[in-house]
Structure 1
Amino acid sequence: MCQQTSSCKSNSDSMLTSLIPKTPTSNEKQHQPQTNHQTMKPHKTTHLSLVIQEYKSIAKIAFPMILTGLLLYSRSMISMLFLGGLGDLALAGGSLAIGFANITGYSILSGLAMGMEPICGQAFGAKKYKILGLSLQKTILLLIFTSFPISVLWVNMKKILLLCGQDESIATQSQTYLLYSLPDLFAQSLLHPLRIYLRTQSITLPLTFCAALSILLHIPINYLLVSRLGLGIKGVALSGVWTNFNLVGSLIVYIFFSKVYKKTWGGLSMECLKDWKSLLNLAIPSCISVCLEWWCFSVSTRVGNELGAGRPENAKRATIVGLSGSFILGFSALFFTVSVRNNWAKLFTHDKEIIALTSLVLPIIGLCELGNCPQTTGCGVLRGTARPKVGANINLGCFYLVGMPVAVGLGFFLNFDFEGLWLGLLAAQASCMVTMMVVLLFTDWEFESQKAKELTGSSIVDVSEEIEEDKTLGAQDSTV
C-alpha cells in the first residue's frame, strides 16, 4: 500500500511539474545554441503564446458567463414589463419589493455562496475532487439556514415600510410580491452553489444553455399566470420563482446526464456537517464584498485552479492578463460615455436641464467604470487566492471612509450637487483600484500556492485516493 501511495504521489508530481518550464542543467546548456538571436526569439514567441493562451482560457470561461448574466438580467426586464402592464401601483410596489429583495436577500445568498469558490477552484486544480462535493453540500445547507431570518424580514416588510413613511397601498403591493417570492429563497440556495460548482470546473457553456432555456419559458409562464389566470402581481412573483426552479432543474439534469458529478460527488455525507470554520471564514467576507460589488468570476476561477494545481506563475499570469483585459473594458466604457454624453439623455427625455446634467455626469460615470473594471477583477483575484477578507476591507474602507465623505462634502457643502455625488463615487473607485493594485503587486505567489495546498489538504480526502479513483472510475458506479 505504501508503495502504491508513493508511486501515485510521484505520478502526481510529474503531472504538475511537467507543465512548469524547467531550468536547464549544465549539460543541457552546453548543447544550447551560443548566439543570442537564436535563443531570445523563441523565448519571446513562447511568452506571447502563453499570454494569448491565457486570454483564451479566461475568455472561454468569461464569455458564456457574460451571456448567462445578460440572460438572467433579461428575466428581470421581462418581469418589470409585466408589472408595468398591471398599472402604476403594481409597478411601484413590485419595483420596491425587488430592490428590497436584492439588498436583504439575494445579494446575501450570492455573497455567502462565494465562500465555496476559492475552496472548489483550488481543490479542482489540486485534483482533490471530493472536496467540491462536500463544499457544495455545506454551502447549500448554509444558504438554506440563512434563508430563514431573511424570510422573517420579508414577511414583516409592510411594517418596516410603513415605519419608514411609505404609502400604505405601495407597501401592501410590495408585501404581496415578497410573500409569493419566498420559495425563491430556496431556489437561490440551490442555484448559486450549483453555478459555482460548475464554474470552478470551467464548465460555463451549459450554464448559458440552461439559462437561455429558462428565459424562453419565462415569457409564456408570465403570460399564463398574469394575463390568463389573472393573478396580477402574485403571478409576476410566482413566475420568477418558477423560472428559477426551471433553471435549477435543468442544471441538475445536465450534471446527472453529463456524469460531471462522478469525480466530485460521493453521495450525501455527514462530513458536510463538520469543519465549517474554513467555509465561514471565506463566506462572510465574500458576502460583505458582494453586497458592495458584483463581477469577475472567470479570473477568480483561473487563479484558484492554477494555485490549486501548484502553478503560481500561471496564476500570476492569469492575474496580469485579467487585469489588462479589465483596463481595456474600462477604457471602452469611458470612450462610450464620452461619445454619447450629448445624445444619450435625448433618447428618454426632451427636458434641456436633464440633458445638460446627463452630459455633465456621463464622463464621470465613464471614469468610475475605468476604476471599477480592474477593481472588480482584483476582487476576483483575491477570492481566487482565498483572501476575500482583504477585498472586503478594501471595499469597506474606500467606499465608506473615502467615497462617502467626498460625496457628502462636494454634494451638500461645496454645492457640486448631483455632480458631487458622482465625484464621491469616482474617489471611492479610484482609491479602491489603487489599493487593490498595490496589494496584488506585492502578492507572494509561491506563498499563495503553498496556502492553497494547506486549504485543500485540510480535507479528509487523500491525493492517492483521488488518483486511484480516477483509474477505477469507469468500472464503478457512483451513488447519487
Structure 2
Amino acid sequence: MEEKPLRIWKKAMYYPYRKQIANKWWEEFKKVWHIAGPAIITSVSVFSLDFITAAFVGQLGDVELAAVSEVQNVLLGFVTGIMLGLGSALETLCGQAVGAQEFNMLGIYLQRSWIISMVTALLLTPAYVSASRILMLLHQDPKISDLAGKFAIWTIPEIFASALNYPSEKFLQAQSKVWFMAFSSMLTLAIHVLLNWIFVTKLGMGLVGAAIAGNISFWILTVVKIIYIVCGWFPEAWTGFSYLAFKSLTKFLKLSISSAVMLCLEVWYYTAVILIVGGLKDAAIAIDSISICMNLQVWTLMVALGFSISASVRVSNELGAGNPKAAKFTVGVNVLISAILGIFFAVIILATKNQFPRMFSKEQHVISETSKLAYILALTIFISSIQPVLHGVAIGAGWQFLVAIVNFVCYYGLGLPIGALLGYKFNLGVQGVWSAMLGGSLLQTIILFVIIGRTNWHKEVIKIEYLYKYR
C-alpha cells in the first residue's frame, strides 16, 4: 500500500521533466524548420534554373545540350563553388553578429564580401573567354567545345550577378529572412521558364537566347535581394555604404578563402569521381549509371542543404548570443531530423532499385549497372543527409580552415586514390570507385562528429566575445 503512492509521486516528478524536454525539442524543431523549409525551397528553385535551361536547349539538338551541360558541370560548377564558398564567410560572421546584437556590423561584412567576390569574378572572367581552349585541353569533342565556348562568353554577366547574390543571400539567412528568399527564387524560376520560351523557342535565338535568359533571371534574383536589403527594411543592419568596408579586408579574406576551399574541395570531389569513371572499361555505361545515381543524390541533397543552412544560422546565432548549451542542442536536433529524412530516402531507393533506373534510361546494360549501385547509393544518400549539417555547424562556429584540411585528407588523400586503385588495378569498376568515394565521405563524417563531440562550446562563446570586444 505504501509503494503505490511512492510510485505515483515518482511518476509525477518525472512527467514534468519529460514534458519540459519534449517542449524544448518541439520549440527547437519549429525554429529549425522555420529556416530549413524555405531554404529547401530556395535551393530547389535555384538548382532548377540550370535544369530548365538544359530542358529548352535539349530541344535544339544533342550537340547543343552537350555544350551547355559542359559549361554547367565543368565551368559553372567550378565558379559557383568559389563564389558560394566566398559568400559562406558571411554565414559565420553575420550569424554570430546577429546573436551578439551587433547589427551595425552586418552591412559592413556584406560590403566586404561584395568587394572580394566582385574582384574574384573579374579574375575568373578569362576562364569563360577561354572556355573552348580549356575544354579542348581536357580532350573534349572539338565541336562541342566550340559551342560551349560561345555559350560561356554570353554567360559572363552571370558571374558578376553571383558575386553579389551569394553574399546577399547569406546576409538574409543570418537574420532568418528565408521566406523572402524562397518566394523570390520561385518567382525567378517562373520568369526563367517564360524567358527561355521567348528567347529559345519563340525567337529562335538558340544558345545565345538561353544564355540571355539565364543572365536576366540571375540578375533579377540578385537585384531583388539587394533592393530588399538597401531600401529600408534593415535599418540597424544596413546604414549605407561605408569606408569601413575596406578596413580589415585581410582578415575577412582569410576566412573567405578558407570557406571557398572547404566548399570547393567538396564540390570538385564528385567531378573528380566522374573523371575517374570516364577512364574505365565501358566508360559510357559507367558514366551513365553513376550520373543517374548522382542526379538522384543531388535532389535529396537539396533537403540536406536546407538543414545545413539551419544548423549554420542557429549555431552562429546562439554562439553570438552567448548560449553554448543552446548551440550544442540545435546541433543534435538538426542532425536527427536530417538523418531521419536520409533513412526515408534511402529506403525508397532500396525499395525501387529495379524501377528507378528505368526513369532515366531504356538501355538494359545501364539499368542493370545502376541497379547494382542501389545499395551504395542508399548509403551515400544517408551519409550525405548528415554531412551537410555538420558542415553547417562548422560554418556557424567558424571552423572552415579545419574542415578544409579534413576534406582534403579524406577526399583527395584517401577517397580518390583508393577509388582509382579499386577501379583500375583491381577491376572493380564503378562500384569500386564509388565505394572508395563513400569511404572518404564516411571518414570525413566520423571525424566531424568527433570534432563536434569534443568541442568546448563555452570556449567558442568566449572566442566570439573576444572578437567583438577587440575588433
Instruction: Please name the residue that 1:268 is paired with.
Output: 241
* Residue 232 in structure 1 maps to residue 206 in structure 2: yes
The answer as to whether partners of 1:144 and 1:186 remain within 8 angstroms in 2 is yes
The answer as to whether partners of 1:61 and 1:204 remain within 8 angstroms in 2 is yes
Query: 1:253: Cα distance to partner?
Result: 3.4
* Residue 332 in structure 1 maps to residue 382 in structure 2: no
Alignment of 1:68-147 (within 5 A): 68-147=42-121
Residues 365-413 of structure 1 deviation map (CA, whole Å, 9 limit, x = unaligned): 1111222222221111011011111211111111112211321222112
Structure 2 counterpart of 1:74, which letter?
S
Q: 1:366 to 1:458 in 2, by over 3 A?
A: farther
What is the distance in 2 between the residues matched to 1:457 and 1:122? 13
TM-score, normalization: structure 1?
A: 0.85
Residues 319-352 of structure 1 deviation map (CA, whole Å, 9 limit, x = unaligned): 1111112221221222122111111112233433
What is the distance in 1 between the residues matched to 2:88 and 2:360? 37
The answer as to whether partners of 1:120 and 1:200 remain within 8 angstroms in 2 is yes
User: Aligned match of 1:159 in 123, 130, 133?
Assistant: 133
Query: 1:239: Cα distance to partner?
Result: 0.7
* Residue 192 in structure 1 maps to residue 166 in structure 2: yes
Alignment of 1:322-361 (within 5 A): 322-361=334-373
Structure 1 counterpart of 2:438, which letter?
L
Alignment of 1:43-62 (within 5 A): 43-62=17-36
User: Aligned match of 1:251 in 225, 236, 241?
Assistant: 225
Instruction: Please name the residue that 1:443 is paired with.
Output: 455
Instruction: Please name the residue that 1:41 is paired with.
Output: 15
Structure 1 counterpart of 2:264, which letter?
C
What 5-or-longer segments of structure 2 have no aligned partner? 1-8, 268-304
What is the distance in 1 between the residues matched to 2:89 and 2:149? 31
What is the distance in 1 between the residues matched to 2:63 and 2:361? 23
Query: 1:458: Cα distance to partner?
Result: 4.2
The answer as to whether partners of 2:50 and 2:72 remain within 8 angstroms in 1 is no
Query: 1:223: Cα distance to partner?
Result: 2.0
Highest Rg: 1 or 2? 1
Instruction: Please name the residue that 2:294 is paired with.
Output: none
Instruction: Please name the residue that 1:32 is paired with.
Output: none
The answer as to whether partners of 2:185 and 2:221 remain within 8 angstroms in 1 is yes
Query: 1:37: Cα distance to partner?
Result: 4.8
Instruction: Please name the residue that 1:391 is paired with.
Output: 403
Instruction: Please name the residue that 1:429 is paired with.
Output: 441
* Residue 309 in structure 1 maps to residue 321 in structure 2: yes
Structure 2 counterpart of 1:347, which letter?
M
Structure 2 counterpart of 1:364, which letter?
I
What is the distance in 1 between the residues matched to 2:437 and 2:352? 21
Structure 2 counterpart of 1:341, which letter?
K
The answer as to whether partners of 2:230 and 2:240 remain within 8 angstroms in 1 is no
User: Aligned match of 1:211 in 167, 185, 202?
Assistant: 185
What is the distance in 2 between the residues matched to 1:179 and 1:453? 46
Structure 2 counterpart of 1:163, which letter?
L
The answer as to whether partners of 2:342 and 2:381 remain within 8 angstroms in 1 is yes
Query: 1:214: Cα distance to partner?
Result: 1.0
Structure 2 counterpart of 1:383, which letter?
I
CA RMSD of aligned residues (A): 1.6
The answer as to whether partners of 1:116 and 1:279 remain within 8 angstroms in 2 is no
Query: 1:363: Cα distance to partner?
Result: 1.1
Residues 4-31 of structure 1 deviation map (CA, whole Å, 9 limit, x = unaligned): xxxxxxxxxxxxxxxxxxxxxxxxxxxx
Structure 2 counterpart of 1:274, which letter?
K
User: Aligned match of 2:264 in 269, 274, 291?
Assistant: 291
Worse overlay, 42-51 or 230-239: 42-51
What is the distance in 2 between the residues matched to 1:154 and 1:222? 22
* Residue 320 in structure 1 maps to residue 332 in structure 2: yes
What 5-or-longer segments of structure 1 have no aligned partner? 1-34, 460-480
Instruction: Please name the residue that 1:181 is paired with.
Output: 155
The answer as to whether partners of 1:385 and 1:452 remain within 8 angstroms in 2 is no
Instruction: Please name the residue that 1:28 is paired with.
Output: none
What is the distance in 1 between the residues matched to 2:372 and 2:137? 37
Structure 1 counterpart of 2:466, which letter?
E
